[in-house]
Amino acid sequence: MKINSYYQKSVAVFGLVLPLLVFCLLIGAALYYVSSINKKFQIKQRKYNKSQVEERAITALEKRAAENSSHLQNWQEILDKETRGTFVEHWKTAEKKFSGQEFSRAPHNWVNYSAGLGKGVAQSASQVEMNFTGTFRAMQLALMEVESKLPQLQLDSLSIAPHSSKRKLNFTTQFTVWTKN
């Protein structure tokens, strides 16, 4: 039995080509869908891994903050009790450790804002200009003593000029003093 060529083309198109075309389209759509799901999974996996790394870093920072809580508490206590008057008292105490020949303090000048680092930070700060006359060693020791007692003190500038006596120097300093909000 011989099939008419007219019907042969229709059977080949609808029976073989069209189902293969539909099958290929379905496979292509399935591959595209699987590929897009895989890309989304990889993106989410990277975000998850990044969040895990950040979470570990946050945990480490929280641990360090807990370890340093006594220092932070000490800092807060100093900020609570220190005033402009106690700042000057610390300098007077440092000055008493030296003879007038080694170290002497001139009057100071307070500014109610900071032109140094304090102007770019939200923490309240004042600036004070203090002038001294003395030896280089005495100035180093006095600065070390006062800065170790006042962690909220920051030296913004230090200028050194020769004194009329050859054994001394004139020091002009500007400090930022961080204060409680």
What pLDDT is attached to residue 24?
A: 93
E strands in the chain: 103-105, 109-111, 125-134, 153-162, 169-178
Report the alpha-carbon distance of residue 125 to residue 116 in Å, rounded.
Answer: 10
CB distance 138 to 97 below 8 Å: no
CATH entry 3.30.70.60 includes domain 77-178:
yes
pLDDT tens, 92-117? 888 888 887 788 887 777 776 655 55
What pLDDT is attached to residue 167?
A: 82
The domains of the chain are located at 10-67, 77-178
Which of 78-82, 128-132, 145-149 shows the lowest mean pLDDT across its residues? 78-82
What pLDDT is attached to residue 119?
A: 61
pLDDT over threshold 90, residue 15: no
Record the tokens describing residue 118, joined without a space. Answer: 């304090």
The residue that leads in pLDDT, 134 or 6, is 134
The size of the chain, in residues, is 181
pTM of the model: 0.52
pLDDT tens, 36-64? 999 999 999 999 999 999 999 999 999 99
What is 52-111 written as a DSSP string?
Answer: HHHHHHHHHHHHHHHHTHHHHHHHHHHHHH--HHHHHHHHHHHHHTS-TTTEEEPP-EEE
The pLDDT mean for the chain works out to 82
What pLDDT is attached to residue 52?
A: 96
Q: What does the pLDDT average to over 21-35?
A: 93
Report the alpha-carbon distance of residue 38 to residue 34 in Å, rounded.
Answer: 6
- The separation between CA 123 and the C-alpha centre of its own chain, rounded to angstroms, equals 14
Q: What does the pLDDT average to over 66-92?
A: 77
